[in-house]
Amino acid sequence: MKLEEKIAKKKAVIGVIGLGYIGLSLVDAFGKGGYRLVGYDYNEMKINSLKKKKPYFNFFDHNLIFSLLDDKMLEVSADSSVLKNVDIIIISVSTSLDQNRNPNLTNLHAAFETINKYLKKDQLIILQSSTYPGTTEEEILPIIKKSPFKIGKDIFLAHVPEVADIGNPDFSFMHVPRIVSGITPKCAELAGQLYRQMGCEIFICSSTRVAESAKLLQNSFRLVNIALINEMKVMFDKMGVDVWEVIEAASCKPFGFTPFYPGPGIGGDCIPVTPLYLIWKAKMTEGPTSLLEQAVHVNEATPLYVMNKIIQGLNERKKSLREAKLLILGVGYKKDVNEIHESPAIKILLLLKNMFADVQYHDPYVEQLKLDSKYNLKSIELNYNKLDEYDAVIILTGHSSYDWKKVVQYSNLVIDTRNVTSNIKHPKKKVIKG
């Protein structure tokens, strides 16, 4: 049976490399679609969690994954040999940065070495991870070219950038159009067929390089706009203007304006990471990167602004940081999620620890938080009427489960970086916007 027919008849076996949020979403969607799947992740803790039916994301329903495992429609393993003989391999490993904030390509390279072992005739390889323009052509294609299979004829290579709005149920797998690209038109066509079969609209690009660039443009757009509003927050604060009110007023314009909101910094797997892949690649081709780099710097400096607001608030009360007892509320990088990758909370906690502040945190979804080799914190139990034991309570993530009225009522001082307390009446100088 040819691959097209296998896809159409749902006889194709799909292997997924990388069982993070995107990997699980793929398994969930193709599992619902009736395909048999195998999942490989080098991280044994993830594999064991899945086998023991322990969810690891609070914002993703793992139940279908667990039933697929029960029904033997899904096999997961930390041993890549499960990928032997699969018809389709989707690479959805996460991309990250090294200590110099350059791309850490370890996960991608490991995935490419893995596929190299399991290449077979009539197979479709799809790169789903976000990465720099050129990855598919420059890194995966040469591997395939060394194999006995002819690209676009015996074997097919495509790039379909991932799209996700974590924690937003409005945009489930099927409801997000997919950018589809391939090394040859046939490669793109097969990948397009697979996603179309799942109900996705698809947009076919002329090259994998364009698809890789499109994903980075989307992320760079968000990075730069968040940086702009983080810069404006400080700028307007110095003029005695509340940026949140300015955004609300500006948002009444029915064209040409999209509101973005300031925060303590940026976090997550995508926005703080992938634009740095673009900058890294652009430097190799001597392209300009000044604006994008400036945006990175602005966001990276934002935790320091929050620090200053904490220091100002304590100073008003004649307290130094090293005399202060502080509580951070929320460490997830985003409201209502337990994801802490690149979370600004980690940076702010480290800044405070390094100034010898006595700081604790609470997050309903994050039990433990490893700041670095030295500090490993545990979430405290939250007792609203004991908040007055802290000199200041610092809101870093606006989780819906918090009772902000009580937070303001019982705290001595609140630093609110998310504007969640704006409608709560309070004595003067009790709440500082951070």
Q: Looking only at residues 177 through 196 of this chain, which bind a copy of itself when binding is defined by CB under 8 A?
A: 177-179
Selected from 88, 126, 278, 310, the binder of a copy of itself by CB under 8 A is 278
Work out whether 168 is an interface residue with a copy of itself (CB under 8 A).
Answer: yes
- Among the listed residues 187, 200, 205, 270, the single catalytic one is 270
Shortest distance in whole angstroms from residue 237 CB to a copy of itself: 8
Backbone angles phi, psi at 37, to 5 degrees: -130, 150
Work out whether 141 is an interface residue with a copy of itself (CB under 8 A).
Answer: no
Shortest distance in whole angstroms from residue 142 CB to a copy of itself: 18
Residue span binding a copy of itself (CB under 8 A) among the ranges 70-78, 139-147, 223-231, 394-402: 223-231
Distance CA 415, CA 305 (A): 11
Residue span binding a copy of itself (CB under 8 A) among the ranges 2-10, 59-67, 94-102, 215-223: 215-223
What's the CA angle centered on 17, arms 153 and 164, to 5 degrees?
A: 100
What is the token pair recorded at 2?
A: 């040819």
Cβ closer to a copy of itself: 14 or 158? Answer: 158
Shortest distance in whole angstroms from residue 209 CB to a copy of itself: 5
Contact 40, 23 (CB under 8 A): no
Selected from 25, 80, 107, 220, the binder of a copy of itself by CB under 8 A is 220
Tell me 151's DSSP state.
Answer: B
Q: Is 200 a residue of the active site?
A: no
Which amino acid type is present at position 357?
A
Q: Which of 421, 132, 398 is nearest to 289 (CA)?
A: 132
Shortest distance in whole angstroms from residue 421 CB to a copy of itself: 17
Work out whether 215 is an interface residue with a copy of itself (CB under 8 A).
Answer: yes
Cβ closer to a copy of itself: 123 or 213? Answer: 213
Selected from 52, 72, 169, 285, the binder of a copy of itself by CB under 8 A is 285
Q: Which residues contact 324 (CB under 8 A, 6 or more apart)?
A: 314, 357, 358, 391, 392
Q: For the window 297-316, what string marks contact with a copy of itself as x by the rule CB under 8 A?
A: xx------------------
SS3 179: strand
Cβ closer to a copy of itself: 163 or 266? Answer: 163
One-character DSSP codes across 265-324: ---SSSTTTHHHHHHHHHHHTT---HHHHHHHHHHHHHHHHHHHHHHHHHHHTT--GGG-
Helices then strands, counting H and E runs in the chain, come out as: 14, 17
Q: Which residue numbers are catalytic? A: 270
